[in-house]
Structures are given as C-alpha cells and as structure tokens.
Amino acid sequence: MPVFLNTTSPEFEAAFQTLLSAKREDSPDVDAVVAGIIDDVRSRGDAAVIELTSKFDRLELTPETLAFSADETAEAVAQVTPEDRAALQLAAERIRAYHEKQMPEDHQWTDEAGATLGWRWSAVSAAGLYVPGGLASYPSSVLMNAIPAKVAGVERLAIVVPTPDGQANPLVLLAAQLSGVDEIYRIGGAQAVAALAYGTDSIAPVDKITGPGNAFVAAAKRRVFGKVGIDMIAGPSEILVIADKDNEPDWIALDLLSQAEHDESAQSILITDDAGFGQTVAQAVEKRLETLQRRAIAGASWREFGAIITVRNLDEAAVLSNRIAPEHLELCVADPVALSEKTIHAGAIFLGQYTPEAIGDYVGGPNHVLPTARSARFSSGLSVMDFLKRTTLSQVTPEALRAIGPAAETLAQSESLEAHGLSVTARLNRLNG
C-alpha cells in the first residue's frame, strides 16, 4: 500500500520529509568499470567498441557494420504498419511545430555611450543521441531528442541504439528517419557514449550527448561531461497529481499508474483536499493492478514509493507541490490555470482532467525529457536551447571608448591586472594625443 499522509497530523512534516528524501535511484557503483571502458575506447577505438558490443549485446560487428546502412534502415522501416506510421508522423509534426516556436532571436543595439552590443545564437555542429535499445526501446524518445536538435540547426545528428542479438525496433528507425537523423549506430552502453565523445576511426566525435540510459550510460555521461556537453542525468520517472473530488477516480488511478509502470523505482503521488476521494483512488489503483500488463513493476513502485496526501485546501497543495518539484504535474481541479500560477517548480504541467500526462509523452508537443529528483527547482526540460549557444557581440567606437574606458582602467588597477588596464590606456592615449 502507498503512504497516506494528512497535513493536519502532528507527524506530517517528519513523514513528508521522509517521503522527499527517499532514495529511489538504482545507481550501483559502476564508475570504475565505466572509466575503464572509456579509456579502452579512447585508446583502441573501433576495436574496443566492437569487442564490447560482442560481449554485452551478443552481436558481431565490423567497422563497416557499426552503422545501419540506408538499405537496412529502409527494410526495417517498411515493416511499420500504416497505423503506427501515421501516429508517429502526427507526433513528429506536433513536436516539431512546438519546438520551432522556441527558437530565440538574435539581437543588437547601440547604447547611450555609443557602443554596439548584442548576441547571436548558433547551433552546436554535431550532437549524439543515446537511445535505449532492443525491442522495448522507445521511438517517442527519438523524436523528443532528435527533433529539437534539428530545429535548432544541428548539422550532424548521430544516434546510438544497442541492438541485442541483432534485433532492432523498426519504429525507432522510422522515428530517426522522420527526425532527420544522419547516422544510426547499432551500439550501446558506456562504450557508445565514449565513441560519441572521443570519436573512433568510424564514428566522428560530437559536441553534445543527450538521451536516457542505464547506470553505465549515466556514469559515462558524467565522465565525458566537459569534453562534450550533456543534457542531464535523469532519475526514475515521477508524477504528482493534484485533484479535487470532482474527478473520475479511475482516471486519476490510471494517471498514477502511467508512471509507476515505467520502473519499480518510479514514484506516483496524489494530493487531494478530500480524504474520501483519496481512498477511492487508492482502491481504483488496486483494481487496475489486477489486470495491468506491467502490474509487477507498477505494483512494486506503488507499494514502495506511492503516496496519497490530504491537504486542507489547494493553496496548501501548491506549497507541497513546489517542495516536491515533480517531473510531471497534473492539475485536475476546477481552475487549473490559476493553480498553475502557484506551482512554479515542475518539469511539465498538465492542465485539467482531460490532459493526462501520457499526451505529453507522445503527441502533445512539449518535450518529455524532463528534470527528475526535485531538480525542477533549478532546471528545465530538453528544448532547442540545449542545442544552441549564445555568443555575445561588442563593438566600441572611439567616442564610446573615451566614455567607458577610464572605468575599465580603474577596475583593472583595483584587481592588479596591469596589462588589462594598459590595453585600454594605450588606445585612449592614441585618441587623446
């Protein structure tokens, strides 16, 4: 059973703190192993990647077969049913349209001193996307990672997707095709991250790596950060639903289970201002768990990390929501827009009872790669901004240098950086001589 909490209880704060601090991440100490894999790939390149792929994925490759050929991709994509193709195309169109609106504009102006200032945006030249592999891999994640990169203007986009025993998911390859991916490699694990970061004879290095993965992939991303950029280190999925009694309990139960079925370490929380409604939802969850295909996973998540919290009112619910800072936040209340203005820490907010989180996972448009483990307090979900760089621009005229240069000289002197100051002084002497 999940934890039942009530803010009127004297023990609430201690119990809530326990809920917030519960360790859900399954992160075994793999750093030493990953460090060895990265060093091996850096020194032996293709040979190391091929050897590790044989060991972990039971797939024999050569430098020539590391990547899917155009014919292999076309053959796999041809297996996709018309219904699946249409659904994936709709998702791709909506995701692309949403992210196109995120593109920032260059800006430039001349200030009162006569200096021309501004900034311009440019995309990283190459990006790599990690896609968890096998037949259970998720084509939606390909769309969510690859489309923002291409909208941002990334010239070269490579994905790595492990194919254990040579089995690839045709939908993943179609998603790559729809997203404009340039290269698809059938490799995975820490060795794939290392290959993207440092390059091999067959795989050119990239500038940024995004995408989810297991503990080895997460550790590899941490290790290569600095050599390349990364998106985030994502933890288990989570959802917080704030709901009043004027909801269908079974709908709320299914929304909670939509994240619980991801992973035994996922977390689903309901906050409601009606204790009776909370109990009814809990019963609906148990009933759904009797028949859900992934009931073993979802049941373990719900029992170990689920929670139902009763609050005095929705203002109190908003305060708790901000402390939780959930990855996904559903507001199933009479006025979700008003409540959303008070819930400022969340990866993504879903407004109203007809906006289940699952819409956001697939066809809503906003990105489903979101901050977890309370990191929504200080970070955002994946966007085109992850693939863009801002470069500042400055042009100082002689008149502007006369106006602002003396202050620069003074500040340089205060910091004992003589050459800094002299670089300004030399120019002012010419102008004033």
pLDDT tens digits along 337-393: 999 999 999 999 999 999 999 999 999 999 999 999 999 999 999 999 999 999 999
**What are 399's two structure tokens?**
């008149």
The torsion defined by the Cα of 35, 38, 40 and 45, in degrees rounded to 10, comes to: 180
Per residue in 28-74, pLDDT (tens digit) is 689 999 999 999 999 999 999 999 999 999 999 999 999 999 999 99
Backbone angles phi, psi at 427, to 5 degrees: -75, -40
* Domain range annotation of the chain: 3-25+235-364, 31-76+124-230, 396-432
Given a cut of 60, whether residue 200 has pLDDT beyond it is yes
Instruction: Indicate the average pLDDT of the chain.
Output: 96
Decide if 328 is catalytic: yes
Of 238, 327, 330, 357, catalytic: 327
Dist. CA 431–CA 49, nearest whole Å: 61
What's the angle, vertex CA 223, arms to CA 180 and CA 29, rounded to 5? 115
**Does 3-25+235-364 match 396-432 in CATH topology?**
no
Q: What is the largest CA-CA distance in the chain?
A: 89
Mean pLDDT of 309-321: 98
Note the pLDDT of residue 82: 97
> What fold characterizes domain 396-432?
1.20.5
CATH homologous superfamily of domain 3-25+235-364? Nitrogenase molybdenum iron protein domain (3.40.50.1980)
What pLDDT, on the 0 to 100 scale, is given for residue 181? 98
Q: Would you call 263 helix, strand, or coil by DSSP?
A: coil
CB 144 within 8 A of CB 386: no
User: Mutual orientation of helices 249-260 and 295-305 as an angle, nearest 10°?
Assistant: 100
> Which of 328, 330, 357, 368 does the annotation list as catalytic?
328
Residues facing 163 on adjacent strands: none
For residues 238 and 20, the answer to whether their CB atoms sit within 8 Å is: no
Superfamily for domain range 31-76+124-230: Nitrogenase molybdenum iron protein domain (3.40.50.1980)
Instruction: Return the number of other C-beta atoms located less than 10 Å from residue 87's C-beta.
Output: 17
The vertex-337 CA angle with 329 and 20, nearest 5°, equals: 25
Q: Tell me the backbone φ, ψ of residue 127, rounded to 5 degrees.
A: -135, 150
Instruction: Check residue 213 and give its pLDDT.
Output: 87
Q: For residues 311 and 23, which has the higher predicted lDDT (pLDDT)?
A: 311
394, β-bridge pairs = 117
Gap between the Cα atoms of 210 and 290, Å rounded: 36
